[in-house]
């Protein structure tokens, strides 16, 4: 059985701890880094947790399909 993965994208200070829970962490401090991380997600990622800033940088891109996204409270 294959398990779907969880990825977290956002500012390093807010996302680094998620690695302890087994999530794949992509630190992105600006719009370009966040978009690069989003496009680099593997096919095995089913859920992406975004910081509020990362969500704003991806406005419109997450609605085009792909993994389920969740935005952390601000």
- pLDDT tens-place values along the chain, 74 residues long: 556 799 999 999 999 999 999 999 999 999 999 999 999 999 999 999 999 999 999 988 877 778 999 999 98
Q: What is the DSSP letter of 62?
A: G
Domain spans of the chain?
A: 5-71
Which secondary structure element, helix H or strand E, spans residue 49, and what is its range? Answer: strand 45-50
8 A C-beta contact, residue 49 and residue 70:
yes
Alpha-carbon torsion angle 35, 36, 39, 45, nearest 10: -100
Q: Return the pLDDT at 3.
A: 64
> 10 — alpha (psi -120 to 50), left (phi > 0) or beta?
left
Q: Return the pLDDT at 61.
A: 81
Give the β-pairing of 45-50 and 68-71.
parallel
Q: Return the pLDDT at 25.
A: 96
Q: Hey, what CATH topology would domain 5-71 get?
A: Rossmann fold (3.40.50)
| pTM of this structure | 0.91
């Amino acid at each position: 059985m294959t398990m779907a993965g969880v990825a977290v994208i956002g500012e390093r200070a807010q996302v680094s701890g998620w690695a302890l829970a087994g999530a794949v962490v992509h630190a992105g401090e600006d719009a370009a880094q966040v978009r690069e991380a989003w496009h680099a997600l593997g096919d095995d990622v089913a859920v992406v947790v975004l910081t509020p800033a990362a969500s704003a940088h991806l406005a419109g891109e997450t609605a085009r399909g792909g993994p389920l996204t969740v935005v952390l409270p601000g």
